Amino acid sequence: MLKINSMKEMKTIMFQDLKRKRIKPTMLSRQKRDWVLATFSVTEEDEGPFPKFIAKLYNDNSINNELKYRIMGSGIDQDPEQGLFVVNQTTGDLFVTRKVDREKHPQFKMTVFALRSHDSFNLDRLQSYYISVKDINDNPPEFPKIVENITIPEVLGKGEIQAVDKDEKNNRNSKVSYTLISQTQISSPKMFAMIQDSGEITLQGCLDYQFYSLVIRARDDGYPKPLSSTTTIHFNIKDGNNHPPVFDSQSVIILRVKVTDEDLPNTPAWRAKYTITEGNEHGNFKIETDAETNDGIVTLIKQMDYEGGPQRKLKIVVENEEPLFICGDDNDKNSKIESESKTAIIEVVDENDAPIFNVTNILIKRIEGLQPGEKLGTISAYDPDAFYKNKIRYVKAFDPEKLVSVNEVTGEVETVKEMDRESPFVNGTSYNIIIHAIDDADPPLTGTATIHLDIKDENDNTPYLVSPEQYVCIDSNSPYIDIKAADDDMDPFSGPFTFELVDNKEPGIEKWKLGEVKDDSVQLLREGELALGYYDVLFIIKDRQGVSKESTFKLRVCHCNPENKCKSLSDTRSIGAGILIAMLFVALLLFLRKYRNISIRTRCQFSSNSNAIDYDAPFGTLIKYNEEGGGASSEVRIYKPFKI
């Protein structure tokens, strides 16, 4: 035995040995154990079945140790969404237990522990993972307001409207494009254009002082189906200074009255003071003193209405700034002197007034599905002119869906097409129609009324299963399957739903029962293990009003691949291929037993005896072949019939 007395001596021996064997020395180092890193993700609003496999955690300490995995963090033992993620402590399989909304929680942070199974000793450093929630296109673009009434100046060059999409930013689900569906104005050509990508509204010409209405659609680029919404913008154009002042042929002064005073000019005793004591009850006039001529100047300060009468009689009283004094001691005589007065007659010339609707905002409630030809009501307007009445006709100014017609003479409004609440021009349940009453004056004047059509939902749809066919892996540990229903009607003709199981008494079908109900979904619990195959489960689903429909939920139990997908999706509902083969084989055995006395006069010649039939073998046994695919030679020469 070689004795080594020191470390230096050991190193010398090792060097000599390496030199003698000509072996290149190798530096040995401890290999660092670590986690296998990966990116985890789940798809929002996934319907399951749950729990659903996400990924497999792995730490290379498992090579030499039996590990158990533990996880903690948001979505696990912390808010938000506690209990959303679970892990199989033995295998490291990570599962999601229910659906999640990305718009509420786009990401979760998870910390993973690799513990030794028998004593829970932490074998490695903690590792943090982020579980991201993949976006689906489940949010249409939304405008800030459903209907906007905006006042803008005539000098406006451009404007902008923006819709907000709550889906993930910077991807196609939230990329919004804009379309100008329709534009309505009284007399001008099409004035507005829209830039598709930005929502910027530009002008094709100059605005005029009148009413404009635009219907705009915002649509995302989501896959597989884009979503959209509409908004209606009503523009009231505020008159701007686009016309220079021009002198009228008539002065604003409608009357000048003259007085004579023998007192010294330009003194308080000479200067006149005028007052209108009668005929100015509505404040249409004012009278002032011309400082140079001492005349009284009557001006019109408020528009007059011909319907108040074709004439106005003004009583004008004049006195001096200084009280009148009469020489003498008779004070009673001074007090009884009346001021000078004069009556002026003002002729009022009639001008056309715009028609006035009896009701300018009309609310009409109807149920969807109303057929063409149904009368909605009659609108009426009158001409406020008292002496010169104009004829009035009624026209539609805004009806983008072209839903109604208006009788030009009577104002009767009736439908020309079926009411559809799902129309892009209907915002929720509201649809607006603008009607004009136009007189026949020159130029014609217009009055405006708005019909607010409230289209109520009808309970004309029954509840249905969102996913009528699902599959579950045979090795799934989930005790239930989430069944979700929907109804195309609005509240209160939709959910929450009532679920009932129907016993179809089909032989061999496992018994089921219902678990927790959450508004539009229910847990389908299985009692006992399920064998491979297909199962039909009959439901009765009722909406809040009790309207129901029998629905069949088709469940397939299958072997799954590592991605938790069925290995084969061929649909053999009635009978499996294996059962069919077994039945054919049994029939063949029965045939052989019945005709076992059949003698074959001539038999087929085979190319070799390797596949010869052993006729001593008992009936009902399988013939042994030594080649794949059967064993019957392709060199059969003569086939002669059996003799019975």
pLDDT in tens, 471-519: 888 887 777 888 899 887 777 777 888 888 887 555 444 578 888 888 7
Architecture of domain 39-134: Sandwich (2.60)
Residue 415: band (very low, low, confident or very high) from pLDDT cuts 50, 70, 90: very high
Is it the case that residue 23 has pLDDT exceeding 70? no
Q: 632 with 611: CB under 8 angstroms?
A: yes
Report the alpha-carbon distance of residue 293 to residue 362 in Å, rounded. Answer: 58
- Judged by average pLDDT, the poorest of 124-138, 225-239, 334-348 is 334-348
Which CATH topology does 246-347 take? Immunoglobulin-like (2.60.40)
> What is the rounded average pLDDT for all residues in the chain?
76
Q: Of residues 573 and 115, which shows the higher confidence score?
A: 115
- Per-residue model confidence as pLDDT tens digits over 418-439: 888 778 888 878 899 999 999 9
- Per-residue model confidence as pLDDT tens digits over 564-619: 788 764 443 444 455 557 677 777 777 776 655 444 343 434 334 444 434 333 33
- CB neighbours (10 Å) of residue 171? 14
- Per-residue model confidence as pLDDT tens digits over 215-265: 888 888 887 778 888 888 887 777 666 556 654 444 456 788 888 888 888
Global pTM reads 0.38
Residue 553, both tokens? 């939920």
Q: Of residues 204 and 353, which shows the higher confidence score?
A: 353
The domain ranges of the chain are 39-134, 147-238, 246-347, 356-456, 464-566
- Collect all residues with Cβ–Cβ distance below 8 Å to 334 and sequence separation of at least 6: 324, 325, 326
Q: What are phi and psi of 586, to 5 degrees?
A: -60, -40
Q: Do domains 147-238 and 464-566 have the same CATH topology?
A: yes
Burial of 287 from C-beta contacts in 10 A (0-12 / 13-18 / 19+): buried
Q: To 5 degrees, how large is the angle CA 478–CA 482–CA 484? A: 170
- Per-residue model confidence as pLDDT tens digits over 503-559: 755 544 457 888 888 878 888 887 777 788 888 888 888 888 888 888 888 988 898
End-to-end CA distance of the chain: 93
- Collect all residues with Cβ–Cβ distance below 8 Å to 89 and sequence separation of at least 6: 68, 69, 70
- Judged by average pLDDT, the poorest of 153-162, 206-215, 408-417 is 153-162
Architecture of domain 356-456: Sandwich (2.60)
For 464-566, CATH number?
Answer: 2.60.40.60
Q: Considering only the top CATH level, what class is 147-238?
A: mainly beta
